[in-house]
Amino acid sequence: MNKRVSPYLRIFINAAAFYGIRLQKSDCLHKVFNEKESHHFNYSATELNTRIGRDIAKDKFLSTNVLSHFGFPVVENELVTCFDDCLAFYKKYKNVVVKPLSGSMGKGITVGVMSQKELRRAYSLAKNSSSSQQVLVEKFIEGDDYRITVIDNKELFVSQRVPAHIVGTGKKSIKKLIEEKNANKRDNQQAIEFNKELLNLLKVQKVNLQTCLGEGKTIRLKTVANISTGGMSIDVTDKISKHFARKAIEISKALHLKTIGIDLITTDITGRKGKVIEINTRPQLLSHHYPDIGRKRYPARTILQMLFNYKLKQKKYVKTRTI
């Protein structure tokens, strides 16, 4: 098998091998098939998701409005087309998140903006990252970041997402610790860049690249809890409360989406209080398959089972590859 296959596709190649079916890859739309039937998918997005559900999900402002209409708890936000409107929202809440109207993988998002200088920088970044030039500003919510992946309106996989960070040893500079983190990154992760965004975040934490970080001290390198930007994943599938599990399934049904990623902010995944900040129709599954902490899950297998109406049987001897 081609060694350059992306890790996102690799998990589906492994899943197909697990069930003894064939997978034909292409540049964007892949096919899985056996002697009786065939199905198409684009990573975690499948032919079973409705067009209207996809259209709602790709517009962050529309999706929160629709979810709010159905009675789901969502974060307060506003769609803005100029900096003055963004500033007015900021003055109301004092601590905000600024993001492009459409996008994925944490691109163009700034979390925890608490000054007008930061706001102007965040607005410019989000606008330049948005295909429509439209920007979404939302109230910052205290809590941990969770991704709930729902498949076939019934199967749940849950990860806590921790932003990229380093932990001091008492002997090495922050620059050296970042270089070591980059050297050990996974194939699906971006290297931490030594750019203005990083320098500003370090400054807020009252350190710089030359600082020798004390043993056990943690410094954030990103504000966004995204795995592709160097974040860490913790499997919490067995900890999610029945309340949040039920709400996640209800959301997938309300939007007619057979595969959906729901981003939830809460201080307690075992409780009832929290807010949905985003939904995604092509959720990243690697954090479930290869968590940094916790049990491995296999949502790619569940997606294939869904496509083949749960008729697949495990092949007796399976050779798979990891990322």
Per residue in 10-19, pLDDT tens? Answer: 999 999 999 9
Per residue in 26-59, pLDDT tens? Answer: 877 899 999 999 999 988 999 999 999 999 998 8
CATH superfamily of 76-140: ATP-grasp fold, A domain (3.30.1490.20)
Q: What's residue 158's pLDDT?
A: 98
The domain locations on the chain are 7-49+300-307, 76-140, 165-221
Mean pLDDT value across residues 115-144: 89
Per residue in 135-181, pLDDT tens? Answer: 999 999 989 999 999 999 999 999 999 988 999 999 999 999 999 99
More confident residue, 254 or 195: 254
Q: What's residue 231's pLDDT?
A: 84
More confident residue, 191 or 246: 246
Q: Is the pLDDT of residue 129 over 90?
A: no
Mean pLDDT value across residues 206-220: 92
Mean pLDDT value across residues 290-307: 96
Query: Can you give the pTM of this predicted structure?
Result: 0.86
Q: Is the pLDDT of residue 1 over 50?
A: no
Q: What is the residue-averaged pLDDT of the chain? A: 90
Which pair of tokens denotes residue 190?
A: 């971006």
Nearest to 189 by CA among 63, 284, 306: 284
Q: What percent of the chain has pLDDT over 90?
A: 67
- Beta-bridge partners for 23: 32
Per residue in 57-83, pLDDT tens? Answer: 988 889 999 999 988 999 999 999 899
More confident residue, 317 or 21: 21
Chain centroid to Cα 258, Å, comes to 17
Distances (CA, A) of 99 to 55, 193, 198, 201: 18, 20, 17, 17
Dihedrals phi, psi of 276, to nearest 5 degrees:
-80, 130
Alpha-carbon distance 14 to 289, whole Å?
11
Q: Which of 81-90, 101-110, 204-213 shows the lowest mean pLDDT across its residues? A: 101-110
